[in-house]
Chains A and B, each alone.
Chain A
Amino acid sequence: MTQSKIRVDLILASLAEDAEKAQEKVQKASDVFLEPLHTDIATTPYEVVYQEDRVKLKHYYPIAETRFKTPLLVVYALINRETMLDLQPGRSVVQTFLKSGIDLYMIDWGYPTRKDKFLTIDDHVNGYMDNVVDFVRKKHKVPTINLMGICMGGTFSVIYSALHPDKVKNLITTVTPTNFDTDEGLLHIWMRHLDVDRLVDAFGNMPGDMMNFGFLLLNPARLVIDKYVGFLEHMDDRSFVENFVRMEKWIFDSPDVPGETFRQFIKDLYQQNLLIKNRLEIGDRRVDLGKITMPVLNFYGSFDHLVPPGACELLTSRVGSTDTEDVRLDTGHIGIYVSGKCQKEFAPKIVKWLQQRDTAEIPEEKEIVMGGVAAQAEAVPAMI
């Protein structure tokens, strides 16, 4: 009598073992869930030093001696929140920067409401961003600052650097879309068919929940099923659960995007790809990438399904600067900031790159002019 090729006995034994383990796991998980969990995000202390409408400027308290002459301003996207850079202890870009002696500022775009639906890219870049940059320049008495943009915030930073090159010393772009004519990412394909006028006219602002639903649809097998199966497998591990909940808090904390900004971003960038062609107009001024003459460091992820490499890697060849560098990491859109591996490759690389370019600047003869709104805001700094 020959033995069956299929070891049914082994399969059944494995199934029984799994059932036993699952029961044990559920019991342990119940203990984990019922005890207090530490799931706070963005816990690094900071002070709000400037506020204009819904927009706040965070200044992080230094935890090491400041070793850089030029402060760094981080500009996050209007989609999701800047808390991602300070998600959990040990995996915090913010803390790495502070430990390296960087004087760190970050824009918190807040939660747009219906009254913000008329705000355009011009209002964000030449309005809020410019006022914030002027505020930091004046506070530190420097003519230029270091600018770091994330995703859509990176696109804003590129636009800003092209329109105000005299105020930016070094530009760092991370997972920043600048070339929208690519079929690498589903988002780029979908956006091409979007009737954005209809959506914005119907909703006013683009609802954050709706965008999140769209992001989940980019890979439902992983983001809707596999992710939570993974959670069930590790739900008896307190540390895993805490980190998982932190990530969930960040992912589903999605402010709406101001309607007119969304309309312009989709039409001018996703559908017409005007930025990389030097044909984008912001506030009646053409955005010429050739005017970006400061050093540029450009990060992107090989497995980024939202902003694929094809959307990022053209930038350095189109700017006017001769000091440019592309860094491609083998990770995804969020992994670049939060994965354990990238903690050693991402923030430390930025620190080193900035150190090499942190030369003292000769103060300009002209005065540092600060916008009226910034002047008012400085008079009464908000505290948290």
Chain B
Amino acid sequence: MTEDRQSNAGTKSLLEMWLDATSEFWQSSMRLWPHATDEGSNTDPSRAAQSGRMQESYEAMFRSFQVLASVMEKPEGIEGAMRGIAAFPEIASKLIKPVWEGLFHMQREWVDRAGRIGKSTAAYKYEDIDRDVFKVWREIYEREFRQFLNVPQLGLTRAYQERLSQGADKFQIFQTTMAEFFSLLYLPVEKSFKVLQDQVAQMAEGGELPEKTKEYYRIWVKILEGHYMTLFKSPEYNQTLRRILDSLGDYMVARQEILQDAMQALPVPSQKEMDELYREIYLLKKRIKALEKNQDGNGATATEKPD
């Protein structure tokens, strides 16, 4: 307790000293200002006016600093500042904690998954596919990182920032889903080799190993085809297929919006503008064709009797 007080007293005197020195410096700087203004006013009136505005701004800033310094010099002001400084590590740890937790969680899942290698490749079974690593990454991303991209943007450029954030978000989701999709497509290859090994072992036991090397390939392709058919009919594959198409669509739309923002600066029409134009042309052509058909249908033109 005594040590704390001594430490506070030491810090307090240091802070006071720093505030005094800073005030002294800015005050002396202000004293130099009128000379500079006087020199400028002799040559260019507009520059003099500009310097005057700068001086006013400088004085206002200095007054604010003085008020702040006087508050800070009081014991309760210093205590407030000390509390803020003391709270900094706590705030930082709160910020970093979820990130570390996420990383540890992912690492734990990786370790668990490594332990399961070889246990989950039963032939022709796709109901309980081991895709945890992608699921974990997606969950971590959605729980810990995604909200940073959804923070409300403020100010003049908020809409642009928002579209950039959305683009990054959709890209991330698409990438994860694509990795999951391709890992799923690879599974039949892995499983088919396992089945081939079993079949070859069985044939070897029975002394029926084919002599022609192409026969092994033929057996493998047939097994692979069977595995793919089983996979493609599984609900897991259909869900993943839908997810990848949805995420691709979302990413394409988000990317297009970013490109449109960028293209505003170029002397070329955006895709949205062209689509509006195409739609107008489409509707106009349709109306003209209908009118022409009606006119001809009334027997006005282009009629001939068959032989």
| Residues of A participating in the B interface, judged by any CB pair closer than 8 Å | 5-7, 10-11, 14-15, 18, 114-115, 117-119, 123, 127, 138, 141-143, 186, 189-190, 193-195, 198-199, 201-204, 217-222, 225-226, 229, 363-364, 367-375
Contact A221 B228, CB 8 Å, known A114-B275, A199-B249, A375-B296: yes
Is B245 within 8 A of A367, CB to CB? no
| Residues of B participating in the A interface, judged by any CB pair closer than 8 Å | 185, 188, 204, 206-207, 209, 211-214, 217, 221, 224-225, 228-229, 232-233, 238-239, 241-242, 245-246, 248-250, 252-253, 256, 271, 274-275, 278-279, 281-283, 286, 289, 291-293, 295-297, 299, 301-307
Q: A114 CA to B225 CA in the complex, in Å?
A: 37
Indicate which residue in B213, B239, B305 contacts A14 across the interface (CB closer than 8 Å).
B213
Is B213 within 8 A of A15, CB to CB? yes
Is A141 within 8 A of B238, CB to CB? no
Is A372 within 8 A of B242, CB to CB? no
Q: Closest 7 interchain pairs by CB?
A: A372-B292, A5-B207, A202-B249, A375-B302, A221-B225, A202-B252, A367-B303
Is A118 within 8 A of B221, CB to CB? no
Is A7 within 8 A of B296, CB to CB? no
Q: A369 CA to B293 CA in the complex, in Å?
A: 9
19 residue pairs of the A-B complex, CB under 8 angstroms, read A14-B213, A114-B275, A115-B282, A141-B305, A141-B307, A142-B306, A190-B241, A201-B249, A202-B249, A203-B249, A217-B185, A219-B225, A219-B228, A225-B221, A225-B224, A229-B221, A371-B292, A372-B302, A375-B301
Q: How far is the CB of B243 from chain A (nearest CB, A)?
A: 10
Contact A115 B278, CB 8 Å, known A368-B303, A371-B292: yes
The total number of A-B Cβ pairs within 8 Å is: 137
Q: How far is the CB of B126 from chain A (nearest CB, A)?
A: 14
Is B296 within 8 A of A123, CB to CB? no
Is A370 within 8 A of B296, CB to CB? yes
Indicate which residue in B188, B211, B238 contacts A11 across the interface (CB closer than 8 Å).
B211
Which B residue's beta carbon lies closest to that of A226? Answer: B221
Is A143 within 8 A of B306, CB to CB? yes
Identify 9 new A-B residue pairs, CB closer than 8 A, beyond the known A117-B275, A369-B299: A11-B209, A190-B241, A195-B245, A195-B249, A203-B252, A226-B221, A363-B305, A364-B306, A370-B303
Which B residue's beta carbon lies closest to that of A138? Answer: B304
Is A372 within 8 A of B185, CB to CB? no
Is A186 within 8 A of B232, CB to CB? yes
Q: A198 CA to B301 CA in the complex, in Å?
A: 44
Which A residue's beta carbon lies closest to that of B282? Answer: A118
Q: How far is the CB of A207 from chain B (nearest CB, A)?
A: 10
Which B residue's beta carbon lies closest to that of A197? Answer: B249
